[in-house]
Amino acid sequence: MSDADGRPRIGPRAHITGWGAYAPPGVLTNADIEHLVDTSDEWIVSRTGIRERRVAGPHETTASMGAIAGRRAIAVAGLDPDEIDVILLATLTPDYWMPSTAALVKEAIGNTRAAAMDVAAACSGFVFAYSTAQAYIAAGMAKHVLVIGSEALTRFLDYTDRSTCILFGDGAGAVVLSASEAPGGTMATELTTEPAGAYMIWIPAGGAKAPPSPGTIARHEHFLRMEGKETYRFATKTMATTALASIERAGLRPEDVDLFIPHQANIRIIEAVAKGLGLPMERMFVNLDRYGNTSAASVPIALAEAVDSGRVKISDRVVMVAFGAGFTSGAVTVEWTADPANGRRAADAQPRDIHIRQPLDWNSVDPIQPALAAVLAAPGPISVPLDDVVSGEPEHADRNGAGAPVAPLAGRGDA
C-alpha cells in the first residue's frame, strides 16, 4: 500500500462515514451588537462578511452541543454509539478544566467503551483532532472514531471589546471516521504550529500562569483577546500554504480539488486563500455570514452543511483547512466515499434524549453575560433562514428560535 506520492501507507485508511452539526437557537445579529458596542452592520459585513452568529442558551454547554452533533454523526454512519472506540473533542471552551468535555459527551451519547479526550489547538482543533483520529485508525488502534468540534465562545467574549465580540459564535459539528481498506478516504494531512504567534489570540487568565482572582476578573482577563491585524496576516499567508502542502502530499494539484471547507473566520481571508491557490471562490464553501467564527466547530459545521446541501458527491476531492491561536494551522485532503444522502436520511433521527450529567451539590451561575442576555431578550421578530442548513423555504422564528420548525441539521430548539 502506498499513498499517491509513493510513500508507504500504514494500515487502513480513515473514511468519513458520518457527519452532523448543531447550531443553538439563539441568534445575535449585527444589529443586536450595535446595542452592545460602537459598531455597525455595514462595518462588520464589509470587514468580515459576518451577519449573525448563534448563542448557546443557558441550559446549553460545549458538551451538550457536541453530544448532539456527535449523535447525529453516529446516526448518519449507521452505527450504535457503543461502536465508537475513541472520542476526540476539539474545543477552546471546555465545560470545565477537568473532567474533559469529551468524557461528558461519552456518557451523554450512551457510549460505554470509548477512550475520550479533548484536543486543544484552538480554531485548528478539529483538523488536529481529525489527524489524530486518522493516526489511531492507520495504526489499527481504532475502527470508528468520533471527532467533534464544539464551542461556547460567547461565554468567553468581552462584550465591551468591539474588535473581538463581533467575530465569534457558538455551535458544534462532528464526523465519524471509520477504518476501511477501500480506496479513497483520508489522503493526506498537514499540521503546523508557529509559537511566535502565541499571544496574538489568547485568554490571559484562568490558567496556571494567572489563576482567577478579583483582579483578573476586573481587568477582563478571562476573555478572549486578539491582535486582529497580525492574525489576519498569518491566516492569509498560512491557510493557502498549509492547504497546498496537504494537497501535494495527496498527489494532487489545487485545481483537482472539488470543494474547500475553510475555517470560517473572515470572508476576506477565504478570498485570499482562493487567490493564493489560483482558484475561484465557487470552490470555497462559505457559511460564516450565518454563524461567524465558531472556532473548532467551524470546519465540521461547514462540512455537514456542504454535504447535506448537495455540494459534495462521491469521489469528490475535499480539502478542510483551518488556522487558529498558537498559531496553529492544519489541512486534510479527502476523497469522499460516503453516500451524501445518508445525512438527509438520518435527519429524522433527531437526538432528543441528550443529557449531560450535572455535578452534585453545586449550583452554577447563569452562564450568559447580563449585557448579552438583555440584547437577546429584547423583543422583535427576526428572520432565521432555514436554508442555512439545507436548501428549503426561508422560515421565520422569534429571536430565540421559538416557533421555528426543527431544521434537519441545525436542530433549533431541540436541545
CB of 151 to ligand COA, least distance (A): 11
Q: Is 165 designated active site?
A: no
CB of 166 to ligand COA, least distance (A): 5
Q: What torsion, rounded to 10 degrees, do the Cα atoms 137, 82, 96, 369 define?
A: 110
Q: Which of 30, 48, 93, 150 binds ligand COA (CB under 6 A)?
A: 48
Which cell numbers in the block locate residue 398?
422569534
Nearer to ligand COA, 25 or 330 (CB): 330
CA 145 to chain CA centroid, nearest Å: 17
Residue nearest to ligand COA (CB): 228
Write the DSSP string, 260-305: EEE--S-HHHHHHHHHHHT--GGGB---HHHH-B-GGGHHHHHHHH
Cα Rg of the chain, angstroms: 20
Check if the beta carbon of residue 100 is closer than 8 Å to that of residue 159. no
* 263-282 residues near ligand COA, rule: CB under 6 A: 265-266
Which amino acid makes up residue 47?
R
Q: Which residue has the cell 496537504?
A: 246
Nearer to ligand COA, 162 or 344 (CB): 162
CB of 132 to ligand COA, least distance (A): 20
Sign of CA dihedral 241, 246, 249, 252: negative
Q: Which of 111, 287, 293, 342 is catalytic?
A: 293
Q: Which of 15, 111, 165, 263 is catalytic?
A: 263
Give CA separation, 86 vs 10, 48, 101, 173, in Å.
19, 36, 13, 16
Tell me the number of residues near ligand COA by CB under 6 A. Answer: 20
* 133-162 residues near ligand COA, rule: CB under 6 A: 162
Q: Which of 34, 45, 47, 339 binds ligand COA (CB under 6 A)?
A: 47
* 209-238 residues near ligand COA, rule: CB under 6 A: 226, 228-229, 231-232, 235
Residue 123 makes contact with ligand COA by CB under 6 A: yes
Which cell numbers in the block locate residue 252?
494532487
List, in sequence order, every beta strand (DSSP E) within 63-221: 86-90, 115-119, 144-151, 171-180, 185-193, 201-202
Q: Is 263 designated active site?
A: yes
Parallel, antiparallel, or unpaired: how do β-strands 171-180 and 382-384 relate? unpaired
CB of 92 to ligand COA, least distance (A): 10
Q: Which of 4, 11, 34, 43 binds ligand COA (CB under 6 A)?
A: 43
As a whole number of angstroms, the distance between CA 341 and CA 377 comes to: 38
Q: Which of 132, 287, 293, 328 binds ligand COA (CB under 6 A)?
A: 293
CB of 78 to ligand COA, least distance (A): 34
- The binding track of 166-205 with respect to ligand COA, each residue x by CB under 6 A or -, is x----------------------------------x----
Binding positions for ligand COA, rule: CB under 6 A = 39, 43-44, 47-48, 123, 162-163, 166, 201, 226, 228-229, 231-232, 235, 265-266, 293, 324
Please identify every residue annotated as catalytic: 123, 263, 293
